[in-house]
Structures are given as structure tokens and as C-alpha cells.
């Protein structure tokens, strides 16, 4: 084929993210950018998730399509559960088990799809073996940034041949393959809370192994992030993977059709407009994390002690089978009703933090939340719970974009005083000015249309030429 024809060729790319909204949304952002370039994208998930995802922009509906694969039933997985947000943490392995049973329906879809490439997540590590039989190439697309992937190590380490990290506590120091000084490592309580990812779970396969097999068996690795922001970490990945590693940009959340001016947002906007500029602390911990009852108590009392207005998005339960409903301390809502809101259903995060009255963001350090905070220039107060959040928090601390609430190293406990002092430091104290200034300085690494376009063009060029 002539070079020009090769460049003109319309690709068909299949996207297959894990069943967590923190994964599906960055996959969808990249899907939109690829479709905008005139390529066909099929986004595969389960029916209930597709109903909950944002409606697609009208101008892309001919190129970007949702495809449903019904989730098989497995024991111990409650009815109507199709995403991590629907269940407590201990039930997620059964969701992985059900997801693994999509292997055959996924293969059947691919057979009739005329797909050129599949971009897949780490949980369905089996995608390359399915796709290669059909002559379809694959890329593991990591929504986790380069520091986490670099910290985790090579595919062989991840698949069980790691002589260095035999105990969870070995994950509290940077590994020897990181050739520069770094604080990027888990704290003891962070790795202990997720130590189950290191061993086989009820799905029969550890997350660690899934990561390793996904990297080992794909044609190349695409990573959410920007080489100008973290060039040294992308170099680590190229060294340890021994295959191409392409950045796809930070993928800031963009607008979707619908939901622009519903009643809830109108009410929130009115409430925010009554607050002083830069004084509201926004509090949210994503769709995955659920604080303990004790943690909720200390967060609540800490917010009260800040004497600042706050808007707290608190999920009191994870799905209908969650029997432990979180409660606020007695009298808290009465005492703070003049200056605080506790919102217990979905909230338009990007709109809220974009409001001029919001001056800081108390967050779990999920990378999408970090990207949104940078986009809206809001400094971060960090309170990690699960997954990659500890590693993300170290990156944010190193770059002085935010400050972590002081905690007990062994069990991760913290006090209401620590919450209050951290929030006030980042938002109002002179000593915390560095966080308020640095969040603005890094913005061009996160929100830059020209750079984002370039990453997508380079990705498509790689997909076409291979």
C-alpha cells in the first residue's frame, strides 16, 4: 500500500475497559478523540454500564458506537451488579470472575467485527490470545499513570518472578530498577489495605499477574500521561517492558451531551454562588473508595473545625447489597447547616470544582480527580484509600501540587485535627501558598489541546503503520 493511502486508511479500533468508572471514562475520552480524527471506534461494556455512561456527542455517533456484552452470572455476585461502584470491596473479585467469562462472547464479537486493533485493560489480560488468533493486534492501554506502572515493575516480576518483593512491606521503598531518587512508593498502611492484589483472589488470578500478562502479550503499551511531565518514568517503562510505550495525554474530562442544567446542578450553583470566592473545600473520594465509619467521623469533625464552607459528596453505601450505611456524627448536620452541604448521590464534580467559590479539593488521589483539579487550578488535600492512590499521592507531593493528611503509618488512622490543619494549610495559610501556586504551574502539562492532539496523532500513526 502506498504511504499516502496508509495514512488515509480508516481504522476500526475496539476499546475494552474494566468495569470501573475510573477506567471506563478515560477509555471513553480517548475513544472520542480517536473518532474525531475520522476512525471507527467500538466501545464494549455491559448493558447497565452503557446506560450509565454519558450520551455520546451527536457529531460522533456514526463513528463511535457502544456494544453491549451481557455480564454472565456467577455465585456471590448480587443481582444487577455490573461495576465496582455497585459492590463493597470484598465482592469485586467475583465481578472479575464474571468479567473473565466474557472471553467467549468477546471472541465472537471480534470474529465479525473487522477490527484492526483492540485497546484493552489489565483485568481482561486474555485479550491478546483471543485477538491474535484472528490476526488482530492489541495494545494494553493503562489508565494508571507511568509512575505506578514503573513502580510495579517488569512483566516477569509481575507474573511471579520478583525476587525482591516477597512481602507487602517490600512495596514501601522504591525498587532498584528506578534509577533516580524518588519518594514514589506505598506507605505501609496503603499496601496493607490492598495486599490482596498481590495474591490470587476469588477470581482465581491476582491483579499483579493480570498486569504482567497484559503487558507481556500485547503489541505495545499506551499509558495515560504526558512525557513532558514525567519523562523519567516513561523511560523506566521502556527499559523494563522492552517494547514501545506511547503516552496518550492526560485526557482531561470533556463535556458530553445531556445533563447540562438539571435541577440538582442549578441548586448547587446557587449554593456555591452564595459562598466567598476560594473559600469552599470540595470533598469527594471517587466511585471506588468507601471510608470506614471512624474515618467519616474524623473527616466530618475535621471539616467542622476548619470553619470553612464545604461541599462533601459522600457515598453512604456501595450498591444495594452493602448493609453498612455510613452515618455522620450526631448533631453534625445541624451544627454545620449554615456553611456545609453533604450530598449523597452523584454530583457533577468538574462543574463544582470549576466554580470560583471552591478553593481546594480533599480527594482520594484517583488520577482523574487529580487531572480535573489541575484543569480547574484547585490545590489538593490528599487522603488515600485504595488501588493506585498512594502512588499518585507521592507524585502530587513531590511536585508540591498538594499535601497529604498526616496519618498513622501502621493503620492509616488520622484525626479530625489533622484533617482541619491540612485543609487550612492548603487553602488559606501563607505556608501553603506553594500548593496554590504550583497547581497553576503544572496546568500546561495536563490541559493543552495542541499537546493532546499530538499524542493522539502519534498513537494513530503507530496503529496505522503496524
- Reference 164, options 151, 175, 179; nearest CA is 175
- 211 vs 325: CA distance, rounded Å: 33
Angle value at C-alpha 441, between 438 and 445, nearest 5 degrees: 120
- 194 vs 215: CA distance, rounded Å: 21
Residue 131 near residue 214, CB atoms below 8 Å: no
In the chain, residues under CATH classification 3.40.50.2000 are: 3-252+447-465, 263-318+325-445
Judged against a pLDDT cut of 90, whether residue 195 lies above it is answered with no
| pLDDT for residue 255 | 64
Judged against a pLDDT cut of 70, whether residue 199 lies above it is answered with yes
Q: What is the pLDDT of residues 407-443, one digit of tens each?
A: 999 999 999 999 999 999 999 999 999 999 999 999 9
Judged against a pLDDT cut of 70, whether residue 4 lies above it is answered with no
Q: What is the pLDDT of residues 235-279, one digit of tens each?
A: 999 999 999 999 999 998 876 534 455 888 899 999 999 999 999
| pLDDT for residue 322 | 79
Residue 278 region by backbone torsions, left for phi larger than 0, else alpha for psi between -120 and 50, else beta: left
Q: Which CATH number fits domain 263-318+325-445: 2.60.40.3500, 3.40.50.620, 3.30.70.1290, 3.40.50.2000?
A: 3.40.50.2000
Largest CA distance in the chain: 73
Mean pLDDT (whole number) for 293-304: 97
Sign for the pseudo-dihedral over CA of 416, 422, 427, 428: positive
Residue percentage of the chain with pLDDT more than 70: 97
Provide CB contacts within 8 A for 405, sequence distance 6+. Answer: 381, 382, 383, 414, 418, 419, 422
| pLDDT for residue 7 | 58
The architecture CATH gives domain 3-252+447-465: 3-Layer(aba) Sandwich (3.40)
Judged against a pLDDT cut of 80, whether residue 5 lies above it is answered with no
Pick 38 or 8 by higher pLDDT: 38
Q: What is the pLDDT of residues 309-320, one digit of tens each?
A: 999 999 888 877
Judged against a pLDDT cut of 90, whether residue 382 lies above it is answered with yes
- Min mean pLDDT across 81-90, 194-203, 377-386 is at 194-203
| pLDDT for residue 120 | 98
Mean pLDDT (whole number) for 317-333: 87
Q: Which range scores top for mean pLDDT: 52-56, 122-126, 383-387?
A: 122-126
pLDDT, the chain, mean: 93
Q: What is the pLDDT of residues 248-260, one digit of tens each?
A: 999 988 765 344 5
| pLDDT for residue 263 | 83
Residue percentage of the chain with pLDDT more than 90: 82
Burial class (CB in 10 A: 0-12, 13-18, 19+), 10: exposed
Q: What is the pLDDT of residues 29-48, one digit of tens each?
A: 999 999 999 999 999 999 99
Q: Report long-range pairs for 402-409 (Cβ below 8 Å, ≥24 apart).
A: 402/373, 402/426, 402/435, 402/439, 403/432, 403/435, 405/381, 407/187, 407/189, 408/189, 409/187, 409/188, 409/189
Amino acid at each position: 500500500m502506498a504511504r499516502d493511502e496508509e495514512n488515509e486508511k480508516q481504522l476500526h479500533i475496539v476499546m475494552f475497559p474494566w468495569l470501573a468508572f475510573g477506567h471506563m471514562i478515560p477509555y471513553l475520552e480517548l475513544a472520542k478523540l480517536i473518532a474525531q480524527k475520522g476512525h471507527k471506534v467500538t466501545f464494549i461494556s455491559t448493558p447497565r454500564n452503557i446506560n450509565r455512561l454519558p450520551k455520546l456527542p451527536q457529531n460522533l455517533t456514526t463513528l463511535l458506537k457502544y456494544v453491549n456484552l451481557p455480564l454472565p452470572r456467577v455465585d456471590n455476585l448480587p443481582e444487577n451488579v455490573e461495576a465496582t461502584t455497585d459492590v463493597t470491596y470484598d465482592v469485586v473479585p467475583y465481578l472479575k470472575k464474571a468479567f473473565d467469562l466474557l472471553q467467549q462472547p468477546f471472541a465472537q464479537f471480534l470474529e465479525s467485527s473487522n477490527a484492526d486493533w483492540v485497546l484493552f485493560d489489565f483485568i481482561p489480560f486474555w485479550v491478546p490470545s483471543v485477538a491474535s488468533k484472528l490476526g488482530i493486534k492489541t495494545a494494553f492501554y493503562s489508565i494508571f499513570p507511568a509512575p505506578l506502572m514503573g513502580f510495579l515493575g517488569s512483566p516477569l516480576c509481575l507474573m511471579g518472578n520478583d525476587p525482591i518483593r516477597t512481602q507487602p512491606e517490600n512495596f514501601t521503598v522504591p525498587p532498584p530498577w528506578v534509577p533516580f531518587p524518588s519518594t514514589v512508593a506505598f506507605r505501609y498502611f496503603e499496601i496493607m489495605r490492598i495486599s490482596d492484589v498481590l495474591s490470587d483472589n476469588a477470581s482465581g488470578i491476582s491483579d499483579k499477574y493480570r498486569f504482567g500478562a497484559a503487558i507481556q502479550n500485547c503489541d505495545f503499551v499506551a499509558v495515560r500521561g504526558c512525557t513532558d511531565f514525567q519523562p523519567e518514568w516513561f523511560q523506566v517503562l521502556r527499559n523494563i517492558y522492552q517494547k514501545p510505550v506511547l503516552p496518550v495525554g492526560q485526557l482531561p474530562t470533556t463535556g458530553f451531551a445531556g445533563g447540562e442544567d438539571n435541577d440538582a446542578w442549578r441548586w448547587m450553583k446557587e449554593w456555591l454562588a452564595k459562598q466567598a470566592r476560594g473559600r469552599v473545600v470540595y470533598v469527594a473520594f471517587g466511585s471506588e473508595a468507601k471510608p470506614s465509619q471512624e474515618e467519616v467521623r474524623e473527616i466530618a469533625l475535621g471539616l467542622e473545625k476548619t470553619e470553612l464552607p464545604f461541599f462533601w459528596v459522600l457515598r453512604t453505601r456501595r450498591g444495594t447489597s452493602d448493609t453498612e450505611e455510613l452515618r455522620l456524627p450526631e448533631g453534625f448536620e445541624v451544627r454545620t447547616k449554615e456553611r456545609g452541604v453533604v450530598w449523597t448521590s452523584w454530583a457533577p464534580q468538574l462543574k463544582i470544582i470549576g466554580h470560583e467559590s471552591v478553593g481546594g479539593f480533599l480527594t482520594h488521589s484517583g488520577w482523574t480527580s487529580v487531572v480535573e483539579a489541575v484543569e480547574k487550578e484547585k490545590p489538593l488535600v490528599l487522603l488515600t484509600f485504595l488501588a493506585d492512590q498512594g502512588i499518585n499521592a507521592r507524585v502530587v507531593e513531590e511536585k508540591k501540587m498538594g499535601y497529604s493528611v498526616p496519618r498513622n503509618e501502621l493503620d492509616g488512622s488520622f484525626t479530625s485535627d489533622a484533617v482541619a490543619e491540612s485543609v487550612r494549610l492548603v487553602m488559606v495559610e501563607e505556608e501553603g501558598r506553594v500548593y496554590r501556586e504550583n497547581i497553576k504551574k503544572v496546568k500546561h502539562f495536563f490541559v493543552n489541546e495542541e499537546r493532546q492532539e499530538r499524542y493522539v496523532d502519534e498513537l494513530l500513526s503507530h496503529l496505522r503503520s503496524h
